[in-house]
Amino acid sequence: MEKRQLQKLSLIIKFLTKNDKRILPCFAVGTILLRNLKMELEDSIKRAVNLDDIVIVFSRPPEFKFGDVATPLCFELGKKLKKPPVQIANDVVKNIILPEGVEKAEAAGGYINFFFDKKYFSKKTVEEVIKKDAFYGKGENKKEKVMVEYSQPNTHKSFHIGHLRNVCLGDALANIMEFSGYDTVRANYIGDVGAHVAKCLWAYMKFYDGVIPEQNKGEFLGKVYSEADKKLQESEEYQEEYKVVLKNLYDEDKKIMEIWEMTREWSLEEFNRIYMELGINFDVFLYESEVKDEGIKITRELMDKGIADVKDGAVLVDLKEFDLDEFVILRSDGTALYSTKDLALAKRKFEDFRIDLSLYVVGSEQKFYFKQLFKTLEIMGFKQAKNCYHLSYELVMLEEGKMSSREGNVVLYSELKDVVKKEALNQVRERNISNAKDISEIVTIGALKYSMMKDNNKRIIFNWEKALDFEGDTAPYIQYAHARATSILKKIDDFSAEFEIDSLDDKEYKLVSMISEFPEIVEKASIDYRPDYVSNYVYGIAKCFNEFYHECHVINAETNRDFRVSLVKATKIVLRNALALLGIKAPEEM
């Protein structure tokens, strides 16, 4: 490779997130050893090509026979230098000085593959995981403050399994952001005003006036809402009555407000009960009723500044130059829209909470809406607008199609949980576990949460039998792996944490390699806002651990006993830490 050509080259390879806000560092963060090895390899490559101004990306080869880490750098260099990547790779391998812990480098079709000293890497990795314990995988503190807004149920409507996906994704994302080092605020923005509330109040006063259910008051309101939606389609007279209730609600009529406050509390009590069952906590609760007036005020200010105009009586922001059509921010009758309130909510986030990064967990149907909202906030002068991100997700489906509370055929969270809990209890009892009731509750919540954690860009066809499968890609399978690791460790009378490694089985090294990647997975999940990175990873760990368990003796091992016991302990730590990010408990027995 010609040095003059290399010295003229200034190559920066960037890994950008989907919204191009942040740049991933040149090496992904793994264990300290893995990170240091990558840094030293980067320095070695730079020296070999006599070029400092490059950012080198490392990745895991598909199989260990191709090494532990690899870089495609030579393909980028080849384009710039107009030389074959294979030739460049061969030249780098000849000139590179390998750091301690790296046995060799090989050129393979333009890639450069690096092979670690397996014993050295395994020993250091396992020791680090055990030493850091609950802090293993945690990122360094970051300057930015992030707010994750999620759950956002509407009062006076039922909490169904579609809401479950939102709250599970949002809680996992908040856990991941915090574990990655961000100052994280968990926010719940509850829809407690609007047309849906007026519909429910109209039907309640019309058909159930004075009725106070003894229990399940929130579910009762959901049924009233569904009934209202059907009856309003049948009668123009009912429509007129409903419009009066809607107007009175916005005018804060005394009688209406008394009923609103009572029934609103019924819904909030149900939400809090569900959050308690799911083990989900929020730092702040925000309500549409609190930002409605402020939103209308902002709308007037935007009109005064010439940012918003009136068209057919409604107030809108013209975003056509950005291919975002017209963004309506106030109805023609002067009442607030979602957009009216979201502008005020964002202002409060930026000014009162001093948020640098604002994440919204909302269904994919709202993708275009959030593009309009973020652009409007940018036009209003909020610099944080470019650091707003909509984590969209697809709906939870049943075989008969999309769930809708307007159709009155929703699967309620409580109904689903009862079905799953009953089956989980049966399965746990078959395993003769003494505290079957408590374990079945852990398994139930884990199964529900994990099933909602799949790729957020894909729809879920929920099947409770598959969610409870102890042999598939499920929470019970992963939880059982953790329980198995715990059981092994309980049977060990004594072992030395100061171990040496005689020889390494492929299953042992594969497991070591996977647990070394956990910090990297957490960092990537926080950059791309993808909780499913963690769910996919922890399933892979559980699967790898079970393969190791079936092929490598631990308790009665003739060789590597102390190392294998330590490896089991390290694996247990990673399983627990990863499950915790998903909001799932790791039981000691199952």
343 neighbors 294 (Cβ within 8 angstroms): no
Alpha helices, DSSP H only, in 214-331? 217-232, 236-250, 254-278, 288-304
pLDDT of residue 411: 80
Torsion, Cα 522 527 528 533, to 10 degrees, reads 0
pLDDT digits (tens, 9 = 90+) for 162-192: 899 999 999 999 999 999 999 999 999 999 9
Q: Are 173 and 359 in contact (CB under 8 A)?
A: yes
> What does the pLDDT read at residue 520?
92
Structure tokens at 433: 């576990």
Residue 149, C-beta contacts closer than 8 angstroms, at least 6 positions apart: 170, 187, 188, 189, 286, 358, 359, 360, 361
* Mean pLDDT across 103-121: 93
332 close to 363: Cβ distance less than 8 angstroms: no
Name 79's Cβ contacts closer than 8 Å, sequence gap at least 6. none
Q: Per-residue pLDDT for 14 more than 60?
A: no
Q: Which of 438, 429, 396, 387 is nearest to 182 (CA)?
A: 387
Higher pLDDT, 34 or 210: 210
Q: What pLDDT, on the 0 to 100 scale, is given for residue 431?
A: 82
The answer to which of 201-205, 404-408, 448-452, 530-534 has the lowest mean pLDDT is: 404-408
What does the alpha-carbon distance between residue 307 and residue 309 come to, in Å, rounded to a whole number? 7
pLDDT tier at 590 (50, 70, 90 boundaries)? Answer: confident
Q: State percent of the chain over pLDDT 90.
A: 72
Q: Is the pLDDT of residue 17 over 60?
A: no
The mean pLDDT of 184-207, rounded to a whole number, is: 97
pLDDT bracket for residue 402 (50, 70, 90): low
- Nearest CA-CA partner of 411 in 224, 219, 274, 266: 219
**CA 19, 22, 25, 31 torsion: positive or negative?**
negative
Q: Which of 486, 499, 509, 491 is nearest to 555 (CA)?
A: 491
For tokens 């809090």, the residue is 272
pLDDT greater at residue 191 or residue 15: 191
What single-letter amino acid sits at 290? E
pLDDT at 27: 34
Q: Residue 493 has what pLDDT?
A: 82
Closest CA to 464 of 453, 478, 474: 474
For the segment 348-377, the average pLDDT, to the nearest whole number, is: 97
The pLDDT of residue 400: 58
Whether residue 252 is predicted with pLDDT greater than 90 in this model: the reply is: yes
Instruction: Give the model's pLDDT for residue 498.
Output: 87
Dihedral sign of CA atoms 141, 142, 147, 148 in order: negative
For the segment 489-540, what is each residue's pLDDT rounded down to a tens digit? 999 988 888 899 998 999 999 999 999 999 999 999 999 999 999 999 999 9
- pLDDT average, residue stretch 411-432: 89
Does residue 369 surpass a pLDDT of 60? yes
pLDDT of 123 reads 95
Domain 150-290+354-402 falls in which CATH fold? Rossmann fold (3.40.50)
Average pLDDT value for residue range 107-131 = 94
We find that the CATH architecture of domain 3-116 is 2-Layer Sandwich (3.30)
What percent of the chain clears pLDDT 70, i.e. is strictly above it? 92
pLDDT digits (tens, 9 = 90+) for 65-103: 899 999 998 898 888 778 899 998 998 898 888 888 889
The domain ranges of the chain are 3-116, 150-290+354-402, 422-581
- Residues 389, 358: contact at Cβ < 8 Å? yes
Predicted pLDDT at 354: 97
- Is the pLDDT at 51 greater than 70, yes or no? no
Residue-wise pLDDT for 294-353, tens only, equals 999 999 999 999 999 999 999 999 999 999 999 999 999 898 999 999 999 999 999 999
Q: Integer distance in angstroms from the first to the last C-alpha of the chain?
A: 59
pLDDT, tens only, 206-220: 999 999 999 999 999
pLDDT at position 18 is 31
What is the edge-to-edge ordering of all strands in the sheet holding 388-393? 284-287, 183-190, 145-149, 357-363, 388-393
pLDDT, residue 452, reads 93
Q: Map tokens 């003229």 to a residue.
A: 8
The yes-or-no answer to whether 3-116 and 150-290+354-402 have a common fold is no
422-581: CATH superfamily: Isoleucyl-tRNA Synthetase; Domain 1 (1.10.730.10)
b/e sequence 493-522, b meaning 16+ C-beta within 10 Å: eebeeebebeebeebbbebbbbbbbbbbbb
Look at residue 13 in the predicted model and tell me its pLDDT.
Answer: 29
426-477 residue pLDDT tens: 988 888 888 899 999 999 999 999 999 888 888 888 887 888 888 889 999 9
pLDDT band per the 50, 70, 90 thresholds, residue 21: very low
Quick one: which H or E segment has residue 326?
A: strand 326-330
Longest Cα–Cα distance in the chain: 88
Radius of gyration of the chain, Cα coordinates, nearest whole angstrom: 28
Regarding predicted confidence, which is higher, 400 or 410?
410
- What would the mean pLDDT of 117-138 be, rounded to a whole number? 95
| Both structure tokens of 227 | 């009934």
The H or E element spanning position 178 is: helix 161-179
Task: Determine the average pLDDT of the residues in 108-129.
Answer: 93
**Residue 25: pLDDT above 50?**
no
